[in-house]
Amino acid sequence: MYDIGIIGAGPAGTTLARLVVGKYSVLLLNNSRPKCCGGILAPEAQKILAQLDLALPKSVLVDPQPFAVTIIDANSKLIKHYPRQYVNINRNKFDQWLLSLLPASVDIRSNAIYKKIESEKSTSRNPLITIHFIENGIHKTEQVKWLVGADGGASLVRNQFFKSNPKLKKYIAFQDWYDNNDIKIESESSELSTDINFFNNYVGIFNNDLTDFYCWTIPKDGQLLIGGAIPISNGARNKFDKFKTYINSIGLKTGQIKKSEICQIVRPISTSAINLGRDQILLIGEAAGLISPTSAEGISTALASANALADAFNSNRNILNDYKKNTKNIIRNIKLKYIKKPVMFNSFLRKLVMQAGFTALKK
Ligand SMILES: Cc1cc2nc3c(=O)[nH]c(=O)nc-3n(C[C@H](O)[C@H](O)[C@H](O)COP(=O)(O)OP(=O)(O)OC[C@H]3O[C@@H](n4cnc5c(N)ncnc54)[C@H](O)[C@@H]3O)c2cc1C
């Protein structure tokens, strides 16, 4: 029997496990799938890492470290460059590093797929929960007092225990990887007036004909990652392929795909879509819907919500109430992003702002 069972060893799950383990016994289940992620640490993520007293090891970093984001508006054909202090990381190594910080007292099952739970029929206020999971192909069960869903955007824990919320919009994220050596830049064929340095910068591309979210390219250790978040539909892959045709038309001639990734990404359309849990079932990170509705940046909120829940567990009063109080700032920051959202995603407003050139770098 364990006090806390955590499903998912992403940044949220590993951080919670590390911060509660002295006081509570912890079971951590993870299905060890490689992560589909851009691997960009935004300033918010850097700040929470500093608050958690964590410094990134060199092994997690990748080349280059971009100091600017290039924004391309495919609808208005405008390009602007904005200064940004990002840290470029290898996402799988980042997760492995966070996992390596856990003491041996956390019971980590790294090839275990969570399936379902059963609550004990009991009159006790906190009945035990039986977790069913498949570990190395074998069906197993363990009992816990608290279940924490830290199982990311496609969270099974959230889907099993909470009604689906139409304000949590679902997207399919595609990422195709290419070797830089196989890429040719032919800017003279481009319909855009300025050259884009795909090998140095993080590039965000808005194209309202294909998605109401956005697409991106990120250079990583001699490779270029081309990705996009497209609303879930049968034609989603087709739209992502059209995006790559567009990229080609602005001068980026890609070679053979080295690796393709696909996963679900959720986007809270309003903060009412955020769900922190109920009774003894709690949600953290992207499972709770805690992700930026403008950039899909979610590492900072995964770390911050794990820290908020750990503080609630460690103060050991009313855990759910304290967790809700501790996440107020995280949710307020997400709310602030809604002010920016219409400007970024409405093609008319975006064009006005980009034409005005506020905070853009002069090139
Ligand atoms: C394409 C893409 C690009 C992104 N780029 C960025 C970026 O550049 N910067 C940024 O800050 N954010 C980015 N995000 C968002 C970010 O990846 C997530 O918000 C963040 O990883 C959330 O952390 P988490 O710990 O909540 O969940 P996750 O990191 O998703 O971890 C969940 C874990 O649970 C495990 N799991 C899931 N189901 C089960 C199960 N049934 N049983 C056992 N284990 C299970 C998974 O294997 C995983 O290890 C991106 C997201 C996508 C989809």
Mutate to test the pocket of ligand 1, among 29, 46, 151 (most ligand atoms within 8 A of CB): 151
Pocket lining: 6 vs ligand 1, CB cutoff 6 Å: no
In a domain, 8, yes or no: yes
Given ligand 1 and candidates 18, 31, 175, 230, which is best to mutate, with the most ligand atoms within 8 Å of its CB? 31
Query: What per-residue confidence (pLDDT) applies to 119?
Result: 72
Give the type of residue at 86: Y
pLDDT of residue 121: 66
Non-local CB neighbours of 11 within 8 Å, separated by 6+ positions: 94, 95, 98, 285, 299, 302, 303, 306
Which class for 362: exposed (0-12), middle (13-18), buried (19 or more C-beta within 10 A)? exposed
Q: SS3 of 62, please?
A: coil
Please name the helix (run of DSSP H) or strand (run of DSSP E) that holds residue 100, with its range, or none: helix 91-100
* Ligand 1 binding pocket includes 263 (Cβ within 6 Å): yes
pTM of full prediction above 0.75: yes
Angle formed at CA 198 by CA 194 and CA 199, multiple of 5 degrees: 130
Structure tokens at 158: 């959230």
What residues does 5 pair with on adjacent strands?
Answer: 27, 147
Domain of 64 in residue numbering reads as 2-356
Say if residues 347 and 206 touch (Cβ distance below 8 Å). Answer: yes
What one-character DSSP code corresponds to residue 135?
E
Instruction: Give residues with Cβ within 8 angstroms of 107, minimum separation 6.
Output: 2, 25, 26, 27, 28
Instruction: Please check whether residue 242 lies inside any domain of the structure.
Output: yes
Cα(13)–Cα(98) distance, integer angstroms? 10
**Site of tokens 């956390």:** 106
Q: How far is CA 41 from CA 32, 84, 129, 285, in A?
A: 21, 11, 36, 15
Q: Is residue 87 part of a domain?
A: yes
Confirm whether 180 is domain-assigned: yes
- The rounded Å distance from CA 154 to ligand 1 centre is 9
The Å distance, Cα 243 to ligand 1 centre, comes to 23
Does residue 363 lie within any of the structural domains? no
CATH number where 8 lies: 3.50.50.60
Q: Measured from the CB, is residue 17 less than 6 Å from ligand 1?
A: no
Asked if residue 145 is part of any domain, the answer here is: yes
pLDDT in tens, the chain (363 residues): 999 999 999 999 999 999 999 999 999 999 988 889 999 999 999 999 999 999 999 999 999 999 999 999 999 999 999 999 999 999 999 999 999 999 999 999 999 999 999 876 666 677 899 999 999 999 999 999 999 999 999 999 999 999 988 899 999 999 999 999 999 988 776 666 667 889 999 999 999 999 999 999 999 999 999 999 999 999 999 999 999 999 999 989 999 999 999 999 999 999 999 999 999 999 999 999 999 999 999 999 999 999 999 999 999 899 999 999 999 999 999 999 988 888 888 888 888 888 888 788 877
Joined together, the tokens standing for residue 259 give 């690796």
Which 3 state secondary structure label does DSSP give 61? strand
- Do residues 158 and 275 make contact, with C-beta atoms less than 8 angstroms apart? yes
In a domain? residue 256: yes
- How far is residue 45's CA from residue 64's CA, in Å, rounded to a whole number? 18
In a domain, 362, yes or no: no
Using CA positions, which residue lies closest to atom 27 of ligand 1?
A: 152
Q: How many CB atoms lie within 10 A of CB 12?
A: 33
Let me know how long the chain is: 363
Query: Which pLDDT belongs to residue 265?
Result: 93
Q: Which residue lies with its CA nearest to atom 13 of ligand 1?
A: 297
Give the position, in ligand 1's atom list, of the atom nearest the Cα of 133.
42
Where do the DSSP E strands lie in the chain?
Answer: 2-7, 26-29, 40-41, 68-73, 78-83, 87-88, 107-109, 112-119, 129-135, 138-149, 168-179, 184-185, 202-206, 215-220, 223-231, 252-253, 259-268, 277-278, 281-283
Give the relative orientation of helices 11-20 and 91-100 as an angle to the nearest 10 degrees: 10
- Atom 26, ligand 1: residue with shortest CA distance: 285
- Would you say the CB of residue 30 lies under 6 angstroms from ligand 1? yes
Within 8 A by CB and 6+ apart from 43, the residues are: 84, 85, 86
Instruction: Give the pair of three-digit tokens for residue 146.
Output: 């608290």
CB 131 within 8 A of CB 142: yes
User: Domains in the chain: how many in total?
Assistant: 1
The H or E element that residue 240 is part of is helix 236-249
In the 8-state DSSP scheme, what is residue 126?
Answer: S
Closest to 229 in 3D by CA, of 298, 177, 171, 180 = 171
Q: Is the CB of 293 under 6 A from ligand 1?
A: no
Cα 35 to middle of ligand 1, angstroms: 6
CA dihedral 249, 255, 260, 265 (to 10 degrees): -20
